[in-house]
Amino acid sequence: MLDADFFRRWMTVTAASVDREAERLTALDSPIGDADHGSNLQRGFTAVTAALEKEAPDTPGAILILAGRQLISTVGGASGPLYGTLLRRTGKALGDAAEVDRAQLADALRAGVDAVMTLGGAAPGDKTMIDALVPAVDALGESFGAARNAAEHGALATIPLQARKGRASYLGERSIGHQDPGATSSALLIAGLAEAADE
Amino acid sequence: MKILMNVPETVVADALRGMAAAHPELTVDVENRVIVRRDAPVEGKVALVSGGGSGHEPLHGGFVGPGMLSAACPGEVFTSPVPDQMVRAAAAVDSGAGVLFVVKNYTGDVLNFDMAAELAEDEGIQIAKVLVNDDVAVTDSLYTAGRRGTGATLFVEKIAGAAADEGQPLERVEAIARQVNEVSRSFGVALSACTTPAKGSPTFDLPPGELELGIGIHGEPGRERRAMMTSREIADFAVNAVLEDLSPRNPVLVLVNGMGATPLLELYGFNAEVQRVLAERGVAVARTLVGNYVTSLDMAGASVTLCQVDEELLRLWDAPVRTPGLRWGM
């Protein structure tokens, strides 16, 4: 079963990997965006870990709702509302249970991803974070490792796609050949789940 | 690339502290990142709030003051501000007559202002929104995030701001803002990429001897790259691109806007060519504004915005304005 400690760990290890990978995320955001994805998420997840320490929410749902709110209040851009909504809706779907199993988490995360698609209007294949998240949620029923692999594969699979949403879409065909930064950071978030489960 | 700064993390806060020192007529909340005209809320009048990523100065903070914006929310460089800033700004300027959010059409700005509108309405503030999307370089709106908001933002903020200043009600101010957007179109070119403080190197690689046509204002490359053109050729290309989409029957306001690193000498020369094309195409010019107003950090290049005006819009354009970035008649 996955308890509050697991979800806190998920956020902490994700914050650490965003820190480590910030420069790479920003570099990916340079040819098809505006070169700030890494620094924006870094600011957001730093605020998330600080808030979790300060407010110490004690259920999985409350942890993700607080994390989502922090991202909305600190990240800005499109990533703030999108990542914030992902975590908030996932947290809301978890309710106030003290522990959840992997299948319940997969269902909740699916609700979160659906909310992101509604908010941003993106569908699979538009070269966005959705391209990593949808396969990850599909694979989460199997195992955390399968979800991580599916997300990483989904992020890589954005390379040949032409962007239809977000700032990269203005480039038209010139967005082809670049890995989407949002899909890449989404894969980090899912990898964080697997890492939290391993510990 | 050398940048006049301390560290990238504080460029926005540092600029706000400097703005506060230079403009005592504004209330600059550095911590919460909200710039408000000092006399707000103005009794009985609709308030205008805008905002967006930093790096486009004087937009939006430099357009706060009587006759234009009531408040502005600067985000990180090229990053939309967060809903908390917008709600705070709306609460600071609302006199009870309502608040118009002026939103440039970028995914981040739209999402954050939408969230803010919901939160502000929960606090009992009446909110209307106008989306600015004037950039004709984005041709395929179905498969993109849609046309970007660029130079027309200045026209919307000035003209709707004047309507609010006259005491017109929220529905009317909103309708005027919407009308200005609908009759405005822009096209921009870059002679060089820009350098964000966080990255420290140009956002895209533009070799000497080439230019980008159809750029946005966030250092994103344009839709097409060509061998460098003359001012005359660029004016033909840009104005014709705008006129493909706008067939003015009335006179137009012309904004020849520098992207940040193009000297006024070049901008005025470019304006001469823009006016030539307009004359050739039979478009009457009511007013012209030349300068750096909607910029993209240190990008070299320019954009052309045309706004077709009837008598009322022209009267509102001519109305007095007193902001750091735009000032006449008072």
Interface predicted TM-score of the whole assembly (ipTM), two decimals: 0.87
Nearest-CA neighbor of A40 among A65, A64, A8, A73?
A73
Residue B23 annotated among the catalytic residues of the structure:
no
**Alpha carbons B286 and B79: distance in angstroms, whole number:** 34
pLDDT at A102: 97
Per-residue pLDDT band at A173 (split at 50, 70, 90): confident
Question: To the nearest whole angstrom, how far is the Cα of B138 from the nearest Cα of chain A?
Answer: 6
Contact B199/A78, CB-based, under 8 Å? no
Delimit the CATH 3.30.1180.20 region(s) of chain B. Answer: 184-316
Which pLDDT tens digits describe chain B residue by residue (330 residues)?
Answer: 799 999 999 999 999 999 999 999 999 999 999 999 999 999 999 999 999 999 999 999 999 999 999 999 999 999 999 999 999 999 999 999 999 999 999 999 999 999 999 999 999 999 999 999 999 988 776 667 889 999 999 999 999 999 999 999 999 999 999 999 999 999 999 999 999 898 888 877 889 899 999 988 887 777 789 999 999 999 999 999 999 999 999 999 999 999 999 999 999 999 999 999 999 999 999 999 999 999 999 999 999 999 999 999 999 999 999 999 999 998
**Alpha carbons B279 and B296: distance in angstroms, whole number:** 29
DSSP structure class, residue B136: T
Contact B79/A167, CB-based, under 8 Å? no
CA distances from A134 to A5, A108, A155, A161, B74 (A): 25, 13, 11, 16, 33
CA distances from A37 to A25, A27, A29, B253, B297 (A): 6, 9, 6, 37, 18
Weakest mean pLDDT among A75-79, A108-112, A170-174, B185-189: A170-174
Contact B145/A169, CB-based, under 8 Å? yes
User: What is the rounded end-to-end Cα distance, in angstroms, of chain B?
Assistant: 40
Nearest-CA neighbor of A106 among A70, A172, A62, A150?
A150
DSSP structure class, residue B297: T
* Token pair 């041709």 in the structure block, residue: B139
- pTM here? 0.92
Residue of B nearest to A75 (CA): B82
Delimit the CATH 3.40.50.10440 region(s) of chain B. Answer: 11-182
Q: Which residues pair with B101 in a beta bridge?
A: B49, B129
DSSP structure class, residue B8: G
**Alpha carbons A20 and A32: distance in angstroms, whole number:** 21
**Alpha carbons B256 and B232: distance in angstroms, whole number:** 14
* Token pair 């354009």 in the structure block, residue: B317
Residue of A nearest to B204 (CA): A31
Question: To the nearest whole angstrom, how far is the Cα of A76 from the nearest Cα of chain B?
Answer: 5
Give the residue numbers in B contacting A (CB under 8 Å), as ranges.
Answer: 8, 53, 75-84, 106-108, 111-112, 115, 137-138, 140, 143-145, 148, 196, 198-199, 203-204, 216, 218-221, 223
Which entry of B33, B148, B158, B218 is annotated as an active-site residue? B218
pLDDT at B184: 98
**Amino acid identity at A108:** A
The fold for domain B184-316 equals Hypothetical Protein Tm841; Chain: A;domain 3 (3.30.1180)
Contact residues on chain A for B198, CB-CB shorter than 8 A: 26, 35-36, 39
The fold for domain B11-182 equals Rossmann fold (3.40.50)
pLDDT at B330: 85
**Alpha carbons B24 and B286: distance in angstroms, whole number:** 33
* Torsion-angle region of B65 (φ positive above 0: left; ψ -120 to 50: alpha; else: beta): left
CA distances from B28 to B21, B31, B50, B120, B178 (A): 9, 9, 15, 21, 28
Reported as half-sphere exposure (CB side, CA atoms, 13 A), residue A48 has a value of 34
Question: To the nearest whole angstrom, how far is the Cα of A10 from the nearest Cα of chain B?
Answer: 24
DSSP structure class, residue A176: T
CA distances from A181 to A21, A86, A130 (A): 11, 17, 11
**Alpha carbons A2 and A107: distance in angstroms, whole number:** 14
CB nearest A36 (choices: B79, B145, B204) = B79
- The tokens for B265 are 């000498």
CATH architecture of A2-198: Alpha Horseshoe (1.25)
CB nearest A81 (choices: B8, B112, B203) = B112
Question: To the nearest whole angstrom, how far is the Cα of A72 from the nearest Cα of chain B?
Answer: 7
Strands B224-227 and B210-213: antiparallel
- The tokens for A190 are 């899912």
How large is the average pLDDT for residues A68-95?
96
Residue B218 annotated among the catalytic residues of the structure:
yes
**Alpha carbons B61 and B101: distance in angstroms, whole number:** 14
Contact residues on chain A for B83, CB-CB shorter than 8 A: 72-73, 81
Contact residues on chain B for A129, CB-CB shorter than 8 A: none
User: What is the rounded end-to-end Cα distance, in angstroms, of chain A?
Assistant: 14
- Which residues, 6 or more positions from B94, have their beta carbon under 8 angstroms from its beta carbon? B41, B47, B125, B126
